[in-house]
């Protein structure tokens, strides 16, 4: 099942539980606007190359649309649509005043030089600058993009509209980025994991973890889990995977990845097939890379008792069913990885106020938002007698439906 079909299915199930009117249901499903642009740039050798870029603006009932921009070869319209819709429910679950959007360019960022990436980002921004805005749609980093990408978008956008730091979040601190944003998604994952484990009388220090992906989210999650005494027993990136049942030395692995750009060849553990990470013997599995990685092929072999969805839609609905029958508890993406967009909200607020927060304030507020959202989800799980995914979906969908109804339909 592709990402959009899976996301729509979860949404429809939540709409049914909530008893939503079919017209509202249809209006919430259809995106506000879908943008597809052609981006042609000269490569460093002078040849021309074209890429397709997307921005899907899903819903703005609760505020400006918000969501990352992904550079990855598998970016396609359905995937971006699904990710944009997930952002709408995620911002509502986190209770921050935003709607949802997502963008992406189908490319292999590692095969482009820094100047080619800069040209591509600037051309993409030129094509969408009049459709994004501080109060309409605010991009941020996602897979394959980072604070430098945001700096280029900020600069290009500012040529058309005047200097506008709040047009993007996740930007460098020197350009108005927020302290704590870089770590925020991984930190939010850890706050969410702590809240979930506490419900089950457990703590991070008593558990073993397997982590798929060691980019922004995976590396921060690994570092913070390790700092809390959790044992990370398996980690993967695109170059390979490492296992060590006694616990991987995460600071040493971070230094190795920093120096070599890859996990492969790290000597603090044994190499393993990257696909095995998902079914490795551990208490908690944390997918931090692509969508759809847990499916009917491998779900039956998962050993973890808890899955923390740090990536977006890592579990397809068939895997969801198999895992739920096995009694695996899944902390869903629209809550588990909401720390990133929550600190993006703090960054936007700081830019608008022209006032910087210190990092302790950012992290404390993030913990407050994550803890509150967890308890709100739990309460809906009780009301509707449903799992955490439906608890989160009903929370998010209901908030967006209420805002939509309050704003009304008159043309």
Ligand X SMILES: NC(=O)C1=CN([C@@H]2O[C@H](COP(=O)(O)OP(=O)(O)OC[C@H]3O[C@@H](n4cnc5c(N)ncnc54)[C@H](OP(=O)(O)O)[C@@H]3O)[C@@H](O)[C@H]2O)C=CC1
Tell me the C-alpha to C-alpha distance, in Å, between residue 34 and each of 54, 82, 122.
7, 12, 20
Asked whether the CA dihedral 287, 293, 295, 299 is positive or negative, the reply is negative
CB of 216 to ligand X, least distance (A): 4
Residue 340 in the binding site for ligand AKG (CB under 6 A): yes
3-state SS of the chain is: CCHHHHHHHHHHHHHHHHCCCHHHHHHHHCCCEEEEEEEEEECCCCCEEEEEEEEEEEECCCCCEEEEEEECCCCCHHHHHHHHHHHHHHHHHHCCCCCEEEEEECCCHHHCCHHHHHHHHHHHHHHHCCCCECCCEEEEECCCCCHHHHHHHHHHHHHHHCCCHHHCCCCCHHHCCCCCHHHHHHHHHHHHHHHHHHHCCCCHHHCEEEEECCCHHHHHHHHHHHHCCCEEEEEEECCEEEECCCCCCHHHHHHHHHHHCCCCCCCCCEEECHHHHHHCCCCEEEECCCCCCECCCCHHHCCCCEEECCCCCCECHHHHHHHHHCCCEEECHHHHCCHHHHHHHHHHHHHHHCCCCCHHHHHHHHHHHHHHHHHHHHHHHHHHCCCHHHHHHHHHHHHHHHHHHHHCCCC
Residue 312 in the binding site for ligand X (CB under 6 A): yes
CB of 385 to ligand AKG, least distance (A): 28
Residue 340 neighbours by CB under 8 Å, 6+ apart? 68, 140, 170, 181, 184, 185, 188, 217
Segment interacting with ligand AKG, rule: CB under 6 A, options 62-70, 204-212, 272-280, 281-289: 62-70
Q: Which of 23, 36, 43, 102 is catalytic?
A: 102
Residue 217 in the binding site for ligand X (CB under 6 A): yes
Angle between helix 359-384 and 388-407 (nearest 10): 100
Name which of ligand AKG, ligand X, none residue 169 binds, using a CB cut-off of 5 to 8 Å depending on partner kind.
ligand AKG
Q: Mark whether 159 is an active-site residue.
A: no
Which of 85, 337, 350, 363 binds ligand AKG (CB under 6 A)? It is 337
Residue 176 in the binding site for ligand X (CB under 6 A): no
Name which of ligand X, ligand AKG, none residue 350 binds, using a CB cut-off of 5 to 8 Å depending on partner kind.
none
CB of 126 to ligand X, least distance (A): 24
Which of 180, 274, 317, 391 binds ligand X (CB under 6 A)? It is 274
Which of 55, 58, 62, 66 binds ligand AKG (CB under 6 A)? It is 66
CB of 141 to ligand X, least distance (A): 5
Binding to ligand X by CB under 6 A, coded x per residue (else -) over 339-378, reads: -x--------------------------------------
Which of 68, 165, 213, 218 binds ligand AKG (CB under 6 A)? It is 68
Which residue from 154, 117, 185, 176 is spatially nearest to 343, judged by alpha carbons?
A: 185
Residue 313 in the binding site for ligand AKG (CB under 6 A): no
Which of 92, 278, 289, 329 binds ligand X (CB under 6 A)? It is 289
Binding to ligand X by CB under 6 A, coded x per residue (else -) over 227-246, reads: ---------xxxx-------
36 in a labelled binding site: no
66 in a labelled binding site: yes
* 299: Cα separation from own chain's centroid: 21
Nearest CB to ligand X, comparing residues 84 and 401:
84
Residue 179 in the binding site for ligand X (CB under 6 A): no
Name which of ligand X, ligand AKG, none residue 197 binds, using a CB cut-off of 5 to 8 Å depending on partner kind.
none
Name which of ligand AKG, ligand X, none residue 212 binds, using a CB cut-off of 5 to 8 Å depending on partner kind.
ligand X
Residue 128 in the binding site for ligand X (CB under 6 A): no
CB of 65 to ligand AKG, least distance (A): 10
CB of 187 to ligand AKG, least distance (A): 13
Q: Which residues bind ligand X (CB under 6 A)?
A: 141-144, 185, 212-218, 236-239, 262, 274, 288-290, 310-312, 337, 340
Residues with catalytic roles: 102
Q: Which residues bind ligand AKG (CB under 6 A)?
A: 66-68, 90, 140, 142, 169-170, 312, 337, 340-341, 344
């Amino acid at each position: 099942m592709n990402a959009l079909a899976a996301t729509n299915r979860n949404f429809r199930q939540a709409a049914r539980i909530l008893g939503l009117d079919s017209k509202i249901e249809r209006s919430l499903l259809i995106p506000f606007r879908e943008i597809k642009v052609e981006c042609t740039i000269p490569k460093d050798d002078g040849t021309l190359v074209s890429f397709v870029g997307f921005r899907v603006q899903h819903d703005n009932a609760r505020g400006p649309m918000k969501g990352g921009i992904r550079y990855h070869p598998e970016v396609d319209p359905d995937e971006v649509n699904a990710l944009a819709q997930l952002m709408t429910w995620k911002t509502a679950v986190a209770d921050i005043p935003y709607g949802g959007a997502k963008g992406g360019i189908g490319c292999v960022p590692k095969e482009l030089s820094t100047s080619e990436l800069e040209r591509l980002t600037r051309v993409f921004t030129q094509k969408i600058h009049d459709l994004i805005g501080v109060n309409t749609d605010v991009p941020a980093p996602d897979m394959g993009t980072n604070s430098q990408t945001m700096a280029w978008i900020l600069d290009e956008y500012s040529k058309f509209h005047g200097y506008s730091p709040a047009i993007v979040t996740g930007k460098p601190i020197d350009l108005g980025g927020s302290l704590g944003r870089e770590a925020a998604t991984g930190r939010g994952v850890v706050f969410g994991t702590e809240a979930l484990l506490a419900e089950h009388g457990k703590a991070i220090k008593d558990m073993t973890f397997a982590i798929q992906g060691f980019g922004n989210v995976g590396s921060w999650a690994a570092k913070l889990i390790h700092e809390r005494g959790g044992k990370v027993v398996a980690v993967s990136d695109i170059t390979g995977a490492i296992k060590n049942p006694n616990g991987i030395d995460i600071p040493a692995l971070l230094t190795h990845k920093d120096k070599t750009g890859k996990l492969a060849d790290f000597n603090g553990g044994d190499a393993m097939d990257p696909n095995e990470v998902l079914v490795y013997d551990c208490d908690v599995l944390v997918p931090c890379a692509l969508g759809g990685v847990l499916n009917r092929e491998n779900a039956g072999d998962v050993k973890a008792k808890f899955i923390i969805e740090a990536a977006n839609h890592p579990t397809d609905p068939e895997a969801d069913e198999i895992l739920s029958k096995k009694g695996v508890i899944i902390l869903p993406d629209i809550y588990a990885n909401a720390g990133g967009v929550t600190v993006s909200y703090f960054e936007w607020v700081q830019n608008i106020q022209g006032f910087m927060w210190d990092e302790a304030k950012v992290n404390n507020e993030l913990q407050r938002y994550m803890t509150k959202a967890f308890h709100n989800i739990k309460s809906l799980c009780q009301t509707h007698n449903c799992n955490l995914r439906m608890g989160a979906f009903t929370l998010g969908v209901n908030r967006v439906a209420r805002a939509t109804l309050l704003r009304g339909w008159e043309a």
